[in-house]
Amino acid sequence: MAAGYRTHVSIIADILYTAKQYSYEGYESGATVTHLIRKANVPHQRLSSIVPTLTQSGLLYEDSAKYRISEKGIEFLKAYSEFKGFAETFGLRV
């Protein structure tokens, strides 16, 4: 993987961060697919394959075609941030 590409886990984290932003920062209705595509910078085709997995895993939940982050998703982001720092100390990406 070249240095400029995001890892799969990083893309998941970006999606969750976007959903979190639209879940709590004055946007209580949640993030639409368009929000996720634009803010997380993920193409629709890839997003379509990732979001169902995140929903099934309980990291996101869908409400009227909008996605909000769950408590489990918030825990995942905390863990991601922690282990991202751990991996970066070795010069690696999580």
Partner 1 sequence: MVEVLFELPMNLLGLGISAFIGRFAYSGYTTVASPNLLRLTFAFVSIATGFALIAGGLFAGGYSQAMTTAGLATQAIGYFFIAFSHSLKSFDFSPSRSFLFLPLAVTGFVIPGNSIEHLVRSISFILLVYVSIETMASYMQNRRTSTLMIGSGLGMLAVGELMSWYNFIYPGSFYVAALSIKVAGFGLMFVPFSKFGLASGLGRMNSQIGSGL
- Find the shortest distance in angstroms from Cβ 26 to partner 1: 27
What is the spatial distance between Cα 68 and Cα 54, in angstroms, rounded to a whole number?
A: 11
Q: Does 87 bind partner 1 (CB under 8 A)?
A: yes
5-34: which residues touch partner 1 (CB under 8 A)?
7-9, 12
Q: Does 90 bind partner 1 (CB under 8 A)?
A: yes
Q: Does 72 bind partner 1 (CB under 8 A)?
A: yes
Which alpha helices (H) appear in 2-94, and where do they start and end?
8-24, 33-40, 44-57, 71-89
Question: How far lies 78's CA from each of 15, 26, 72, 74, in Å?
Answer: 14, 21, 10, 6
Contacts with partner 1 by CB under 8 A lie at: 1-4, 7-9, 12, 53-54, 56-59, 72, 75-76, 79-80, 82-83, 85-94
